Amino acid sequence: MPRVVVLDWGLSAQVLALGVTPVGVSRPPWYRMLSGTPPMPDSVVDTGLLFQPNFEVVQALKPDLIVITPLHASLADSLARIAPLFVAPSPHPHEDGYRLALRRARALGDALGRPNGTARLLEETEARIAALRAGLAQHSDVIQRPIYLMSPIDTRLTNVFGRESVFGGTLAAIGLTNAWRRPSDTEGMAQVDYTQLGVDPAARAMTIGARPALLNLLDKSPLWRVLPFVQGRRVSQLPMMLPTGGTPTALRLADALSAALTRERA
């Protein structure tokens, strides 16, 4: 098995899903808190911060490959002196986050010498997504209502996810409509105040990883309570997931969305 160091949590999840346990990852405890799927073994060494790795630790691990994102460009030359680099592909124009996750997984599988296993993983992923899409398509009342996917920050601001994110791309892949159609950053995310989420009176909202204490505060906030999806009791809570995750995150979100919408119809 290749000795791999990964300096990104989403790519760490993808490496694990491909059957390779990294020897080192940026801040494993944070990965476990934000994702936890696939599980990160205790044997994985902490290589430091995402964009401030401990080069001595990385070098001591004697990696065969270091996995990074395009955002690590300023570190690439220094890391390349330690081991060959895999730089995750950048998004194509108009490519959604789910399609990007599939493309990155395929490229990563090739770099790890596991093209056949990767092909099977992607076939299983797309089959599961297709099955969930077919199930939801039977309920026109569900698929016709747009959805805001959001991660509340406080009682004034939230992160909301567009089509370029793996969240937004997965939403589209299972046949649902994203209520957020305004610009987002390179990761498909925008930080906005809640007043910007009242544009579509028919929309529902899904909060991702919101802390119970914050949800309690939101329930008391006039800014939150005036939103159409709050007044219409069209808000569901989803568990914590990694916003920059790959195919493991896509599957987890798709299952969670389908389950939440099924409960709502019951």
Question: Residues 153, 255: one domain?
Answer: yes
| Whole-angstrom distance, CA of residue 222 vs CA of residue 230 | 11
133 and 245 inside one domain: yes
d(CA 148, CA 140): 18
Distance CA 255, CA 95 (A): 22
Residues 147 and 226 in one domain: yes
If asked whether residues 134 and 57 sit together in one domain, one would say no
pLDDT grade for 266, boundaries at 50, 70 and 90: low
List, for residues 183-224, the tens digit of each pLDDT value. Answer: 889 889 999 999 999 989 999 999 999 999 999 999 999 999
Whether the predicted pLDDT of 114 surpasses 60? yes
pLDDT, position 143: 86
Has this prediction a pTM greater than 0.85? yes
**Single residue among 88, 117, 149 that ends a domain in this structure:** 88
User: Starting at the edge strand that comes first in sequence, how are the strands of the sheet with 204-208 ordered?
Assistant: 189-193, 157-161, 147-152, 204-208, 235-238
Is the per-residue pLDDT at 35 higher than 90?
no
What is the torsional sign of CA 131, 95, 247, 124? positive
**Domain count within the chain:** 2
Answer yes or no: do 139 and 256 share one domain.
yes
Q: How many helices (H) and strands (E) does the chain have?
A: 12, 10
| Same-domain status, 169 and 221 | yes
Q: In which domain, by residue range, is 10 found?
A: 4-88
DSSP-derived letter for residue 245 is -
The pLDDT assigned to 265 comes to 66
Average pLDDT over every residue of 20-34: 96
Confidence grade of residue 36 (pLDDT, cut at 50, 70, 90): confident
Q: Do 139 and 261 fall within a single domain?
A: yes
- Backbone phi, then psi, for 83, in 5-degree steps? -160, 165
Q: Does residue 225 share a domain with residue 137? A: yes
